[in-house]
Structure 1
Amino acid sequence: MPLLRTRPALPDLVGTLRAGRRQKYLISSALVEKVIARSLALYCLVFGAVAVPEAFRGQPAMNQVWAWCIGFAVFGSLSATVIAGLTGRHAKTAAGTASAVYLIVTVSWPFFASDPARVAPTAPWPSPLSTIAFAAAAFAFPRVLAIAYMAMVYVAYIIVRETPAGGGRPFLQSIAEAGYGLMLGLVVLLLIGMFRRASAAVDSAHGTATRKYAHAVREHRTELERVQVDSILHDSVLTTFLTAARAHSPEERHLAVAMAKHALTEVASAGALPTTIDDLVPLDQLRARFAAACEELGITAGFSSEGLKDYSIPGSVVEAFFSAVMQALTNSIQHAGPGVVTRNVHIQWRDEVLTVGVTDDGLGFDTATMTPGRLGVRVSIIERVANVGGRASIDSTPGEGTAVTLTWPAA
């Protein structure tokens, strides 16, 4: 069945919340972490593949057992980082492991050369992977720990590069080679930190907005409960007392008894608001509820409808219109005068507008002399309908009856 817009009392907040459930935020901490993990995975995949030939070329100069062990450790940890980054599971653990493996391989390199006194012609084959190790550390570790890791790798590389197994290069050249990788690592660390701070700010703003929304909803429901209790006191309890006080004929006494039973039911169910302000109720049920209440109270009225099939409206609107219509009928019984009075309720749905008309051909009254603060009209009809975004109008002429028209949403 078609779903229609809710009342405009709180539409922006409800719309914002529901839109947030349907759509992804442009930036958030979870999204930033996912992007970084996948970028690191692709980085490891490309540069790890490039390093494979260099690993085989550098293997003869190393202890063979250790060479195969570090080969499996390095490329295994890189593979784990790729898989974890692409799947989004344990990405930081895999990245931290890869960076730790690289540090261990760098530090232990001089101790496992096949001939420690022989000067290697090139740098250790894992050297180009330093940027991957720095990026992995920047992603996996807190900022201070990541900087400390980069410093340790930087110092270890300089020392190893000066040894025969590392190529026996001069001190300044070793510093320059290590500095290039270190600068790239610091840039990556800076970028990751910047994105993380931006996403944290967005998350904080979203959390604040959510808390404000929850507070607004609580206040809104409190106001709904206040209006409900206010209307129950008038619509059911006070109206029943007035009807009983004015009951002289058997029919009036019967109505007073029926209204008293109905009032007890209303008081017992006070506070039973809809689960959410957007609960939808078929319009056919609104007509059936009017008829059932009139039968229970012994109110004679004709009912007609137009265009209600397959349409629904928010439960809060149904509650407001039901109470307003029942109050209008009760007012008609009390004030339309003696004798036979014809009462009709017409419910119409047209062009996405609900209109309910309550008419009688009783005595009527002069609307110009109606007290503005009259509780039955102000709270039970006009204010209640206005609270759900509708409008109520009352037209009456002495001797020609009264017409109460309820419209939702208000024009």
Structure 2
Amino acid sequence: MTAGAIGLAGLVFGVLAVGPFRDQHAGTLGPYAILSFVVLVGLPIVIGLWGSWAPLPVLIALCTLEAVAMLAVLTGWPLLHGYAHDEALGMPWPLGISALPIVCVALVMRGPLVWAYLGVIGLLTVWVMYTSNSGPEALLEAIQTGLYATSFASVFVGLVLVGLQSAERLDLLQAAERLGAARNAARLAREAERARFDGLIHDGVISTLLMVGRAEQVDGDHVRQAADTLAQLERIAAGVRAAGVVPVAQLIVGLRRLAEQNATPFAVELDEGVDSAVLTLPAGAVEAMVAAGGEALRNSLEHAGGRQQPRTVARRIELWVQEDVIAVGIRDDGVGFEPARVRPERMGLARSIRARMDELAGGYAVVDSQPGQGTLVTLGWVRR
């Protein structure tokens, strides 16, 4: 934005300087005069057109060339144009655009160098005006012109420096925001991984130990569940998640195994035209739905019969498959409960069921239960 402003200023000042340049070089227009005008007016325009996306070394080189060119023109003006000229022609034309190189210096330099260059241009302005004026008050007029030119240029320098400082502060704030966002994302990732690990410990390790501890003998189902749990622990340790897509048939196999391990009926309802061997879903969805379904079934086995007066409970695992929606239902006719009264820190319902399904893209979990009315836990995935 600052470079663009310099380019616009170069264009405006250049147009205003055409008249004085033509009048002051009438009859004496030579290569040096033309080169001086082209460089002093043209470089700011080039900076404006190219400066916003040019490499920094190139921008510094262009601004430095503009600054050096103005020093050369002002220093050589009395030598090339004599020590006086017709006052009707006005002040020497380079003085009318002396603010351009000063602003260019402010664009690429900082601190004392900018103000030192401004002071040098001010002194050269006094020098050029004094040597170009043959009047009785030449020195006074030269000093007045130098002070005016310096004050005028300092306003633009101040604006440029303030703008650049504001841009630097904005860059620092944006960098701090990006750093904060990265740290927050890393923290959330760690928390998610910790929650995933806690859920696996709760669902896999503890449940496997309880199952083995309650069984009279260890059978193939116990060994298979222990192996699955160890495999999941290894994937977490390696930072690997289930990836890719798998057929719905794999979900059916996982749920059927879960039902057989817990002596629970299992029913599958496929929408018309749906082939479980062809229709696919994410592997992560299969893993989440089987794990959450297992936790819901274990909760039913643990709590649905009641504690004070145990009762026989009928349970059922149901799977509904449509083209874009797949849902698993864990149903029982037990004592039921009030989901709203379950404490958030309870791992089973909060972490192993709801949070696990919420973390799945397109996943959801609904717990429908009332005291004395049984429980239905629905685990769903919607294709997006």
* TM-score, structure 1 normalization: 0.69
> For 1:78-118, what per-residue CA distance to the aligned partner results, in whole angstroms no more than 9, with x for missing partners?
323312321222444323321221121101112223xx466
Shift of 1:54: 3.2
Partner of 1:181: 149
| AA in 1 matched with 2:76 | S
Name 1:293's counterpart in structure 2.
254
Per the TM alignment, residue 37 of structure 1 is displaced from its structure 2 partner at its CA by 0.5
Q: 1:364 aligns with which of 318, 331, 334?
A: 334
Alignment of 1:64-79 (within 5 A): 67-79=30-42
Q: Aligned letter for 2:294? A: M
CA contact (8 A) 2:204 2:229 kept: yes
99-108 vs 174-183, greater mean Cα deviation:
174-183
When residues 196 and 138 of structure 1 are mapped into structure 2, their CA distance, relative to the original with a 3 A threshold, is same
Question: Are 1:267 and 2:233 an aligned pair?
Answer: yes
Evaluate the alpha carbon distance shift between residue 378 and residue 68 of structure 1 in structure 2; reply closer, same or farther with a 3 A threshold: closer
CA distance in 2, matches of 1:126, 1:318: 78
Provide the rounded CA distance (Å) in 1 between the counterparts of 2:330 and 2:259. Answer: 17
Answering whether residue 373 of structure 2 is matched by residue 403 of structure 1, we say: no
Identify if the C-alpha distance between structure 1 residues 105 and 152 changes in structure 2 by more than 3 Å, giving closer, same or farther.
same
Moved more, 230-239 or 79-88: 79-88
CA-to-aligned-CA distance 1:183-206 (integer Å, 9 cap, x gap): 211111111122223223322222
Of 29, 38, 41, 2:7 maps to 41
SS at match of 1:178: helix
Indicate yes or no: 2:56 matched with 1:95.
Answer: no
The CA deviation at 1:266 is: 0.9
> Greater CA deviation, 191-200 or 384-393?
384-393
Letter of the 1:255 partner, please give it: D
User: In the TM superposition, what is the alpha-carbon distance from 1:260 to its structure 2 partner?
Assistant: 2.0
Question: Are 1:345 and 2:319 an aligned pair?
Answer: yes
| Residue in structure 2 matched with residue 326 of structure 1 by the alignment | 294
Alignment RMSD: 4.4
Would the aligned equivalents of 2:331 and 2:377 in 1 still touch at CA under 8 Å? no
Contact conserved, 1:107 with 1:156, CA < 8 A, in 2? Answer: yes
Query: Higher mean Cα deviation, 383-392 or 225-234?
Result: 383-392
Aligned equivalents of 1:160, 1:286: Cα separation in 2: 87
- Take 2:252 and 2:301, find their aligned partners in 1: how far apart are those partners? 16
Cα separation, partners in 2 of 1:240 and 1:143, compared to 1, 3 Å: same
SS at match of 2:67: helix
Q: Which moved more, 1:185-194 or 1:317-326?
A: 317-326
> C-alpha separation between the residues in 2 aligned to 1:99 and 1:117?
24
Any conservation in 2 of the 1:385–1:391 contact (CA below 8 Å)?
Answer: yes
Residue number in structure 2 paired with 1:253: 219
**Alpha-carbon distance change, 93 to 117 in structure 1, aligned in 2, over 3 angstroms:** closer
Higher relative contact order (CA 8 A, sep 6+): 1
Cα pair 2:70 2:101 within 8 Å, conserved: yes
Counterpart of 1:380 (choices 348, 352, 355) is 352
Shift of 1:238: 2.0
**1:357/1:298 Cα in 2 relative to 1: closer, same or farther (>3 Å)?**
closer
1:53 Cα shift? 4.4
| 2:128 is the alignment partner of 1:160 | yes
Give TM-score scaled by structure 2 length: 0.73
Q: Is the 8 A contact 1:74 1:98 kept in 2?
A: no
Q: Deviations over 1:295-354 (max 9, x none)?
A: 565746334578xx9xxx99998875553223224555788899995421347899xxx8
Paired position in structure 2 for 1:243: 211
Aligned to 2:185: 217
**Structure 1 CA distance for aligned equivalents of residues 252 and 75 of structure 2:** 88
Question: Structure 2: which amino acid aligns with 1:359?
Answer: I
Task: Work out whether residues 212 and 222 of structure 2, in 8 Å CA contact, stay in contact via their aligned partners in 1.
Answer: yes
CA spacing shift, 1:190–1:157, aligned 2, 3 Å: same
Match of 1:151 among 119, 126, 138: 119
- The alpha carbon displacement at 1:209 in A equals 2.2
Q: Quick one: distance in 1 between partners of 2:44 and 2:200?
A: 65
**d(CA) in 1 for partners of 2:115 and 2:33?**
24
